[in-house]
Amino acid sequence: MLKRLPVVVGLCLAAALAFAGATAEAPPVPAVLQASEAEVKKLNEDLQKALTDKNDELLAKAIEQMESLRSDTFAPAIRNAMKSANTAVLAAAIRAAAAYEMKDLEKDVRKQLHAKPAKDDRVGLYGEVGAASIDYVTRLGLGGEDVTVVDNYLTPLVAPMDERRVTASWALDLLRASIAYIGKNKVKHGVPLLVDLVAEPEPKVMSAGARGTPPPAPPQAYWDALVKLWQKSESWVRWALKETTGQEFRSAREWAAWLKENKKDYR
């Protein structure tokens, strides 16, 4: 029994290291399959019902399925959905347009990427449509949005300790799309933030402001949501850092030390 103990300990250590995360994996891209005749018929029926009933929820679901099912008959519906004022429908249309490589819609998508949040957007970030727009420019190999992606979307998502954002239904999509954009376009401007995202989130002690009173600390729900995002995205972050810097380090501490020595190149 004693002779087998080192093997068991070794396996446990290996499992612990694997869990800690040292792999670099590109963010996934949805597969696009050719739709069967039955699928085309069913989706067109769903689409017609949604339009007849003026049901945006049903319309969004129909357009969303078109992202993974290709048929030339769906293209007009995707283009029409790009004009929708409903965020779910619009986001689904942009993602489907990316899957169908509709490059002629680039101007419209960039416009959405720079649109101001709707007045009723209590989260303060046009997250669902923003995530889809970033996904579009990334999948079609387009650039020119480095500052927009890093400063206007990714930083507000993870930096200000806002529970509403990290718990939003679109938070992971926005995180995935932003990381993919940075890695694909080798955005040096995004490296410092990515280095911060390597480390597992931990509750921080809030420092006192100018009047000597620290701001209220985020609730535990914020940290729980942030940890879940980190668990799902850490390998993507490592991939983007590898693509952008050509470097690979195991620990967040090593990444921080490296960035300190090279910060002039990644401002």
| pLDDT tens digits, one per residue of 218-245 | 888 999 999 999 999 999 999 999 999 9
Query: At which of 100, 128, 158 does a domain end?
Result: 100
Determine the residue type at 135: D
Select from 193, 90, 194, 180 the least CA-distant residue to 139. 180
Among the three residues 78, 100, 122, which one is the final residue of a domain in this structure? 100
Same domain? 175 vs 263: yes
Q: Are residues 184 and 144 in the same domain?
A: yes
Q: Which residue has the tokens 């989130």?
A: 201
Q: Which uninterrupted H or E stretch holds 70?
A: strand 69-70
Q: Do 35 and 164 belong to one domain?
A: no
> Based on the domain organization, do 130 and 255 belong to the same domain?
yes
Q: Does a structural domain hold residue 77?
A: yes
Does 87 share its domain with 140? Answer: no
211 is a domain residue: no
Which residues fall within 8 angstroms of residue 153, CB to CB, at 6 or more apart? 125, 127, 130, 131, 134, 174, 178
* pLDDT-wise least confident of 17-21, 62-66, 136-140: 17-21
Average pLDDT, the chain: 87
Domain that holds residue 44: 30-100
Domain count, the chain: 2
118 lies in the same domain as 229: yes
End-to-end CA distance of the chain: 55
Give the pLDDT confidence of 72-131 residue by residue, as tens digits.
999 999 999 999 999 999 999 999 999 999 999 999 999 999 987 666 554 445 689 999
Residues 49 and 115 in one domain: no
185 and 244 both lie in a single domain: yes
Q: Do residue 231 and residue 162 come from a single domain?
A: yes
Query: Does residue 256 share a domain with residue 125?
Result: yes
- End residue of a domain, out of 84, 100, 116: 100
* Least reliable range by pLDDT among 44-58, 70-84, 176-190, 194-208: 194-208
Tokens of 122: 């209590």
- Regarding whether 91 and 35 lie in a shared domain, the answer is yes
Question: Does 122 lie in the same domain as 64?
Answer: no
In a domain, 236, yes or no: yes
